[in-house]
Each structure stands twice: as structure tokens, then as C-alpha cells.
Amino acid sequence: MMIRKSYIFATIFFFFSVQIFAEPQNNGDPSSPESLPSGKGILEQSFDSFVETRTIISEQIYDFSDSLDSFFGDDNIEEGNGSRIRISLSTKFGGKGEQVSDAGIATILLLPKTQEKFQLVIQDIQKEVSSEEENEKEVQGDDKLQETNEESILAAALRYVFIDTDAWKVQADSGIHLKIPLEPFAKLKIRRNIRIEKWVLKLIQNFKWNTSKGWGESSTILFDRRLSKTVRFRFSNDASWYVKEDLIHFGHALILYHHVSEKDSLNYFTGIKAIDKPKIHLTSYNFGAAYRRKLYQNWLYLQITPVIAFPRSEDFRNTPSITFKLETIFGGK
């Protein structure tokens, strides 16, 4: 946890330092625009500075990704670059006064000059899921209030995308977990979308390996149906296991996505989790909702998620919690 957070703060400090040294200096000249009063309050000036910093960081992400792209790909190909860094800060409050804070980072550097086959990815191994699967992981339960010793580590990988169409996606990751000692890992992901009348069946298969856990596998089956232009229903099912752990984890969830407006969305969900040892049994179930608000343009978001969980570790007594998450996206040109 400390390694990951130190990396995040070091990265932010580095980019902010670059901005400070890159800013033009007025050398105390009172006639320069920087010395003239702006007529704005402190909060407004601070936010303007944050927006400017975000713009500079986004440009640096683009330039760095473009330089990697030129190394791997063809300089004669001109394509847009969607490379981005997503940083999130969240705090979860429990009904008994417990509090768990977390910082997350996910980086995707796209290399379009390689025909979009190669990507450089850096993200938390506990959150190494696509945006499509992220809601399922959140819905099926977060036991951090009860299990605060869960290891959180960054992973850096080079991703190769074999196929990426509406029907199929096949990609492979090879990299290292950024911990001491460094831990190699590999993963193959296969996704298949099948339309069945008004339903879309999504099959997601992951095969993975790392030196500490050995070989593992996870399977996800999603049933999606659009109920209206603004409402979508999903039935989610998944199972995962590692050979060394010899334990299968199950998760099932019902989710209703409601696109309220251009800036607001609501998700309503209920989910259960189970394991297969000593026999298949329920470990928790929950009910909740997630409200997401676009605060500024397409890169600053706030999410509020109240949940009532019933974990076996608490004899299935109701365990309320609420999570506040602020998310910032850099890059994404």
C-alpha cells in the first residue's frame, strides 16, 4: 500500500514540478499580466490553476506516448492519441465509525502507429478490470472495512491486442507487479459478444499467471438488455480461482443503469458472493446505489455509493457504508 501511494504522490509531484519550472517568470515586473489582479476569489483562482496544470500534464502524457509510439511504430502514420492517466481518491465510511481511504491510479498509453496493437498499461492489480467489468466488482462486494490487510500493488505491462471488434476482443498482457521483490505476471483475455434478440450476451475469459499464486482463471457471463434510451439492465455472473489457493470465488449481481442526464447517472444494484470450500456457501450479499456526477467537462467526476451489506463475518448483520470517490482523468486526446 505504501509503495503504491508513494508512487502516486511522486508522479503527481513530478508533473506539478514540471509545470512550475515551465511557467514564464515575470521577474517582479508589476506591468506583466501575471502581476495584475484577476478579480477572482482564491477558490476560483485555485481551480483555474488546477485546470491549467491538468492541461499541461495531459500534453506531457500525449508527447511521451507519441515518442514511444514513434519508436515502436511507423512515423508516417498520423493518428489521434487517446493515452490517459486516471487518478481516483476515495473514502469509505462504515456504520460503526470505521473509515478506509484509498488512492488508485490507472495508466493506458496507446500506440496508434503500431495499428493500435500495443498499449503500455499501469494499474492497481486489485482493479485490473475494464470499465465494463468495474461495476460488477464494485457491486459484488467490497470487504475493505473488514479486511484492511488486503495487498494493493501496482502492475506495469505491455499489452498486445490481437483482435478488437464489436464481436471479439483478444489481448495479452506481460509485465511485472511493482513490489519488492519484483514479480513477473502474464494474462490472456478473451471477450465475445453475442446478440440474442433484445439481449446481448457477453462472455469474458481470463487466463493468468504470476510467481506467487501460480496459474489462475476467471470467467464472467453478462446478460445485458436495454429497457429504454436511458435505462439498461444487467445480470452478472463470475467465478475465479488460482491453482495454489484451490478456492473458487463466485459472484452474482443484478444491476439497473439509469442515465439521468448528460452529467448525472444512477446505478441500482444487489449482489451476492460465495466460495466453494468446505462446500459452496454464501459469504455476503448487499444492496446499494451509485450516483455519479460529471463535475467539469469530461475529466472530473464525483461518485457517491451507499451500500447495505450482510457479510458472514458479521453473522449476516446489516453493515451500512457510504463511499465518496473523486476521479480525475489526464490526457485522452
Residues in the chain, total: 333
CATH numbers and ranges of domains, the chain: 2-328 (2.40.160.40)
Q: Please choose, from the candidates 308, 326, 327, 328, the residue with its C-alpha nearest in 3D space to the C-alpha of residue 318.
A: 308
Task: Quote the pTM value.
Answer: 0.73
Q: How many angstroms separate the CA atoms of 283 and 201, rounded?
A: 27
What contacts 10, CB < 8 A, 6 or more positions away? none
CA 273 from chain centre, in angstroms, equals 21
What contacts 318, CB < 8 A, 6 or more positions away? 95, 308, 309, 310
Rounded to whole angstroms, what are the CA distances from 268 to 129, 135, 235, 288, 327?
A: 20, 11, 12, 6, 20
Q: Please choose, from the candidates 1, 88, 86, 90, the residue with its C-alpha nearest in 3D space to the C-alpha of residue 321.
A: 90
Cβ atoms of 195 and 175 closer than 8 Å: no
Is residue 58 exposed (0-12), middle (13-18) or buried (19+ Cβ within 10 Å)?
buried
Cβ atoms of 234 and 223 closer than 8 Å: yes
Give me the tens of pLDDT residue by residue for the chain, a chain 333 residues long: 444 444 444 444 444 444 434 444 444 454 444 444 555 667 776 767 767 776 666 666 555 555 544 444 444 434 445 677 888 889 999 988 888 988 877 777 766 555 567 788 887 766 554 445 555 555 555 544 444 334 567 888 889 999 999 999 999 999 999 888 899 999 999 999 999 999 999 999 999 999 988 999 999 999 999 999 999 999 999 999 999 888 999 999 999 999 999 999 999 999 999 999 999 999 999 999 999 999 988 888 999 999 999 999 999 999 999 999 999 888 765
